[in-house]
Chains A and B, each alone.
Chain A
Amino acid sequence: MSETTEAPDVLAWTCPLPLRDQPRVVMGHGGGGALSAELVRDVFAPAYGGPALSAMGDSATVELGGARLAFSTDSFVVRPLFFPGGSIGHLAVNGTVNDLAMSGARPAFLSCGFILEEGVETEVVRRVAEALGEAARTAGVEVATGDTKVVEAGHGDGVFINTSGIGLVPPGVDLRPQRVVPGDVVIVSGPIGVHGVAVLSVREGLEFGVEIESDCAALAGLVETMLAVTEDLHVLRDPTRGGLAAALNEIAAASGTGVVVRERAVPVPAPVANACAVLGLDPMYVANEGKLVAFVPRPHADAVLAAMRAHPLGREAAVIGEAVADHPGMVVARTGLGGTRVVDLPLGEQLPRIC
């Protein structure tokens, strides 16, 4: 079957598998993990990267006419379009609003571009648009401009949406991973993995019944509550694709600190844990759409946690770990049994496994 050659000389050896430089885009390139990061680093940044892009945040903070603006864009390709607890319309608003909120901004205006597949029912488009409008009103943002394109049947997946948004960053607020220092307390705003499991539960081929709904929500209000306690939060992230693991890894890598997570302290609802057990997934890697993770200076941690718990979207907020000087750039979990494991950046999309 296989050819085995003489003893391998690893230094002279080049990878015979073209997986490192894939000739075509695979799904993992959009998964928010290592493949996505490489695409940005190797293709996009060299082509058009500038000072604002190089910060690689969920949104960019730019100065314009004396104002500090947060500016962000996101595209939404979710299947199915409607899922327990939300829809692509809700995601399109909340995703961009949350990206802005993570830089401490008060989101103000959104743009909205629809890419529709020929043949999709106008009733479906109407329902998506209504959901989008409802979400915008709830989040307190105005859709200020829009665009529509139609692609031939078979060239889209019903409805794709891109939204961009801008918001004002209040003076004194400076949220970026580079500000994280050892000793910072890591707080998550509530139970993780809910959105990802809700969407998986209605995906073709995996269908399962579960009494949970997506946590899809706009977090700008929660962030405002936290900033009212202290402007001196260090960094916020909404752990969407790639889950909590990806968010913590990005912060660890950009800040140069290590992160330790106490696994037992991470709130995972039983249905999420059990769905993950059935499918062979790890809740730390499952997407969230209405949660944030905060790195807070230790002296403010108790007050920030209390303020979060007083807010409807932070009632189950919990301290899950801390930033440390050891193992810079690496996220480590202490397991329930007292062992340790490295929590790595996910590779690409999460796949159900049999083994």
Chain B
Amino acid sequence: MCLAVPGRVLDVEDRDGTRMATVDFGGVVKEVCLEYLPDLRVGEYAVVHVGFALQRLDEESARRTLELFENLGLLQEEFGDPDEPDGPDGPEASDRSPEEARR
């Protein structure tokens, strides 16, 4: 399901009362419907599926995730045993890994 790719907004316009954008996918440019992300601005990235922007991509989260990968293994050496229990199950998903939560 759900072949969705990240694209960057080049410009935004209203067409027939529908919010549309020109979105750049690394040199490939397509028209994309912004009705579900009406406040997406020029220069921002979103996940696009079948011509619709469905969620804004968060640069800070992406950076943190990659940083986590970079530090894997190193952390274990620093902190010793990784089998220390996590926090209690909250009602919402935690987007922080156990490694991050410990920091």
Contact = CB atoms under 8 A, between A and B. Distances in A.
A209 B10 CA distance: 12
B28 interface: yes
A271 B30 contact: no
Given A354-B49, A354-B50, A278 B5 contact: yes
Contact of A277 (B2, B5, B29): B5
Nearest to B29: A209
A270 B2 CA distance: 22
A47 interface: no
Interface in A267-281: 270-271, 273-275, 277-278, 280
Contacts of A274: 5, 25-28
Given A280-B3, A355-B1, A355-B2, A208 B30 contact: yes
Given A208-B30, A209-B30, A277 B1 contact: no
A278 B25 contact: yes
Interface residues of B, number: 14
A211 interface: yes
Contacts of A353: 3
A210 interface: yes
Contacts of B3: 280, 353-355
Nearest to A275: B28
A225 B28 CA distance: 35
Contacts of A280: 3
Interface string B1-15: 111010000000000
A280 to B, nearest CB: 5
B2 A271 contact: no
B28 A278 contact: yes
Contacts of B5: 274, 277-278
A7 to B, nearest CB: 31
A146 B3 CA distance: 47
Contacts of A355: 1-3
B1 A270 contact: no
B50 A271 contact: no
A354 B2 contact: yes
B40 to A, nearest CB: 18
13 contacts: A207-B30, A208-B28, A208-B29, A210-B27, A210-B29, A211-B27, A278-B25, A278-B30, A280-B3, A354-B3, A355-B1, A355-B2, A355-B3
